[in-house]
Amino acid sequence: MRIAELASLRVAIWGLGREGHATHVALRQRLPGLALTLFCSDAEAHFMTTSDPADRFVTTAPTAADLSAFDIVIKSPGISGYCPELIEAQRNGTRFTSATALWFAEHAGSRVIGVTGTKGKSTTSALIAYLLRGLGRRTALAGNIGMPVLELLDPPVEPDWWVIELSSFQTRQAGHLDLGVITNVEEEHLDWHGSRENYVSDKLALADVARTLLVHGGHAELLQRTARHPRRILFGVASGWHVDETSIRRGGEIAIERSRLPLPGAHNALNACAALAAVEAIGEDAMAAVDRIDGFRPLPHRLQRLGVRESVTWIDDSIATTPQAVTEALRSLAGRSVTVIVGGHDRGLDWRPFAEHVRAFPPHAVIANGASGRRIGVLLHEVAGSYQLHTVATLADAVALARDVTPPDGTILLSPGAPSFDQFHDYAERGRHFAELGGFDADAIGQIEGLGIS
């Protein structure tokens, strides 16, 4: 649906976070005077930077009847597409769309690379954009990574390429992609999707709109579920871009030594492979781009080394919202004396594989906190292991304890394995708070480079 088609309809925006705000601004620019109802929290209404006499704010949660009063509701990604109110309103004839869907409708002729995955999608997206710019291509980087696509609705000059990160909440909203990239699929966001099957199906909906599809060849479920795509390419396999112990290779050819990568861990080396394979898949010279990788600045809150305080290294991996991500973080720090802080909003994910990992490869200490902290602590106690185990209430408590138990030359790692919503607005706020507790300038370390068009 194009934005102009909304002019004669009854329209509401549901949720006024950054994406909802971008939607409001875009509609006001294109359709001045359009009557809009804005379903939002008191805080969202308070922080609105622009408003219009035609805006009507509703700060109570909408019922199905409320939603059914509209022809179109433009929904924030954080609101589940499976919530009962939405489903009932759909039955009553209300159509639901999103900022992502509106952008794709307005940019049907643009060249777009869409990137998703349970983990690695932000780093992979940023790397693709970085490499394309290094090849002289005017490139946009936006989406779930931190800049809503509607903030770039009308660029003065059309980019050569759009690189758009899409969460599992957004993949079904995407339009045509020249290239779809799926880094991996694990278990996450079950509270939004309702089941693992819904989550995986929603994630893999990206394949349905991608002319060419790039997937991780070492992921059995991805291979099986994308086998029928007519133009599928694999990374992470010996015939393509893949990782060995010391290097990134393209087939049998060494492309770059892993020691040059600014990204720690084998999982990030695979992200680099995905980015290089994506650049090659759209017809660009990935081997010419690879030498620039060592100049890439890692994204904040993703195994981000904050610095050293009193002989202890602090690392912020607040983006880690699954137990598997914590395991990968610990693997990237093998050989160090690590105190890892885990826990947060409890979505009921299975921590047993993590427990088995820390039993086999014990860190110095595990400190569990937050709403899921007690459940994690009970499981780790049952499995047992030769490391210190503590359970505390809050992140502040966890950091204070980590200072006491971590030895000199050790590492304090925040890798929660859970969302932040029990204590913080999002993972970025949690990461900034961790940095401040460690004595670092949160504003200086929390910026994502490269968003927008350049």
Question: CB of 130 within 8 A of CB of 292?
Answer: yes
Question: CB of 26 within 8 A of CB of 7?
Answer: no
pLDDT digits (tens, 9 = 90+) for 8-31: 999 999 999 889 999 999 999 999
Q: Give the three-state DSSP class for 168.
A: coil
Average pLDDT along the chain: 94
pLDDT of residue 184: 92
Confidence of residue 48 (pLDDT cuts 50, 70, 90): confident
pLDDT of residue 190: 65
Question: CB of 267 within 8 A of CB of 332?
Answer: yes
pLDDT digits (tens, 9 = 90+) for 164-181: 999 999 999 999 999 999
pLDDT digits (tens, 9 = 90+) for 429-454: 999 999 999 999 988 888 888 999 99
pLDDT digits (tens, 9 = 90+) for 396-431: 999 999 999 999 999 999 999 999 999 998 899 999
pLDDT of residue 42: 84
Confidence of residue 193 (pLDDT cuts 50, 70, 90): confident
> Angle 109-110-112 (CA atoms, 0-180°, nearest 5)?
130
Confidence of residue 188 (pLDDT cuts 50, 70, 90): low
Question: CB of 236 within 8 A of CB of 222?
Answer: no
Q: How much is the average pLDDT of 186-203? A: 80
> Angle 407-409-413 (CA atoms, 0-180°, nearest 5)?
80
Start-to-end CA span in the chain (Å): 28
pLDDT digits (tens, 9 = 90+) for 306-356: 999 999 999 999 999 999 999 999 999 999 999 999 999 998 889 999 999
Res 191 pLDDT > 80:
no
% of residues, the chain, pLDDT over 90: 85
Neighbours of 421 (CB within 10 A): 18
Q: Which amino acid is at 2?
A: R
Q: Give the three-state DSSP class for 210.
A: strand
Between CA 29 and CA 298 the distance in angstroms is 35
Neighbours of 260 (CB within 10 A): 13
Q: Which amino acid is at 78?
A: G
pLDDT of residue 358: 97
pLDDT of residue 101: 97
Packing angle of the helix pair 427-437, 395-405 (nearest 10 deg) = 40
Q: How much is the average pLDDT of 355-370? A: 97
Between CA 365 and CA 386 the distance in angstroms is 9
Q: Quote the pTM value.
A: 0.87
> Angle 76-72-74 (CA atoms, 0-180°, nearest 5)?
15
Torsion from C-alpha of 9, 14, 19, 25, nearest 10 degrees = 40
pLDDT digits (tens, 9 = 90+) for 95-127: 999 999 999 999 999 999 999 998 899 999 999
Confidence of residue 52 (pLDDT cuts 50, 70, 90): confident
Q: Which amino acid is at 403?
A: R
pLDDT digits (tens, 9 = 90+) for 342-352: 999 998 889 99
The gap from C-alpha 303 to its chain's centroid, in whole angstroms, comes to 14
pLDDT digits (tens, 9 = 90+) for 258-271: 999 998 888 899 99
